[in-house]
A and B are shown apart, each in its own frame.
Chain A
Amino acid sequence: NAGVTQTPKFRVLKTGQSMTLLCAQDMNHEYMYWYRQDPGMGLRLIHYSVGEGTTAKGEVPDGYNVSRLKKQNFLLGLESAAPSQTSVYFCASSKSSGANVLTFGAGSRLTVL
């Protein structure tokens, strides 16, 4: 099983450019999440989805959009990248909420110049 796969692993953007991060899971999980990790800040939830076709805002949603057109995929978009969006982005998935464990991808490191 591949688990959770994120592409790309690394990306460098210029301010104002757009890009999409792709997350794919093969565990038939209902819930999917996008987090960003910054030094000293821990993990902060950007957006999440509780099922195909649904999305919801997390703690830090500004500047990002998401889509969940297929159950196995969760896309994170940056329409106009800013240096403040330089971060490591993690996708995760779980069967449900509550006691369900999150399975994380390996991360995508984004640098915005």
Chain B
Amino acid sequence: AQSVTQLGSHVSVSEGALVLLRCNYSSSVPPYLFWYVQYPNQGLQLLLKYTSAATLVKGINGFEAEFKKSETSFHLTKPSAHMSDAAEYFCAVTEAYSGAGSYQLTFGKGTKLSVIP
């Protein structure tokens, strides 16, 4: 069975500082990995996804994530935080060989990012 652990339910950074949101996964087969973002009072939207091509994945709004198989991690980073980055971020995992008709996407519990001016 697959699972996702997001370390830290709340993270605070100063504006302009590095953003690092941690995600570790477990999966018995090669995974697909996703980061979604949820702004206040909105649904989730995709930031980026890893599907076994390049291990460093670039997403929207300057975010990127690196797939590290040896560490079973997919941490999300952004070099310089902006006030508009304040949101909740969710890591998710699914198995690369999910059969047609099945559904196995698992979300982490989320990390709320606060940006301090």
Contact = CB atoms under 8 A, between A and B. Distances in A.
Contact of B32 (A4, A41, A58, A99): A99
Interface string A82-113: 00000000101000111101101111000000
Contacts of B104: 97
Nearest to B104: A97
Nearest to A91: B43
Interface in B78-105: 90, 94, 96, 98, 100-105
10 closest residue pairs by CB, A with B: A104-B43, A42-B109, A99-B51, A43-B107, A104-B44, A99-B32, A97-B98, A101-B46, A50-B101, A98-B98
B51 to A, nearest CB: 4
Given A99-B51, A101-B34, A106-B42, A40 B9 contact: yes
B49 A99 contact: yes
A106 B34 CA distance: 19
B103 A48 contact: yes
Interface residues of A, number: 24
Interface of A: 4, 31, 33, 40-43, 45, 48, 50, 56, 58, 90, 92, 96-99, 101-102, 104-107
B90 A42 contact: yes
Contacts, number: 61
Contacts of B49: 99, 101
A12 B96 CA distance: 40
B102 A97 contact: yes
Contacts of A48: 103
A97 B32 CA distance: 11
Given A41-B109, A97-B103, A4 B43 contact: yes
27 contacts: A33-B103, A40-B109, A42-B107, A42-B109, A42-B110, A45-B105, A48-B103, A50-B103, A58-B103, A90-B43, A90-B44, A92-B43, A92-B44, A96-B100, A97-B94, A97-B102, A97-B105, A98-B96, A99-B51, A101-B34, A101-B49, A102-B46, A104-B44, A105-B43, A106-B43, A107-B42, A107-B43
